[in-house]
Each structure stands twice: as C-alpha cells, then as structure tokens.
Amino acid sequence: MLLRLLFFFVLSYLIFAFVRVMLSWLRRQGGGGSRERPEKAEEMVLDPQCRSYLPKGEAIPRGGHYFCSEECAKIYLSKGAG
C-alpha cells in the first residue's frame, strides 16, 4: 500500500516536471528569441521659454526649438527675432 502511494507520488512529480519542461520549450519556440525588447523611451525636449521638459511627441516644433505651448513659442520667437 505504501509502495502504491510512493508510485503515485513519483508519477505526479514526473507529470509536473514534464509540464514544466513543455512550458519552457513552448516559450522558447513562440518567443521569437527577443528576450530584451528595447523600451521605446520617448525623447524629452526642453522648452527654452519656460524651461520645462516634455515628451517630443507632445511638443510644438518652432524655429528649431520645441515648446510646450503656442504661447511659449510665440514669446520665445518674438524675443529671438527682435
């Protein structure tokens, strides 16, 4: 009876180990090999008018500079032109 219990224990352990191996194998197959995906860190730009950093995607490009708003762009460019 004890032997039967031991057999059952070993069998369940083997199934567990097999599942683990299968999972790691599947992950390797479907992963595509790219373990380190570079994070798409957005570039930060400095608003020369109010001196605040903001993501380039949200910035307003004017005259070679990036601004947080139209107001800053207007003020800065009018200063620079004058």
Q: Which residue ranges make up the site for Zn ion (CB under 5 A)?
A: 47, 49-50, 68, 72
Cβ 47 to Zn ion, closest distance in Å? 4
Q: Name the phi and psi angles at 5, rounded to 5.
A: -65, -45
Cβ 58 to Zn ion, closest distance in Å? 11
| Helix ranges restricted to H, the chain | 2-31, 70-81
Q: In the complex with Zn ion, which residue's Cβ is closer, 45 or 68?
A: 68
Cβ 39 to Zn ion, closest distance in Å? 26
> In the numeric block, which tokens belong to residue 3?
């032997």
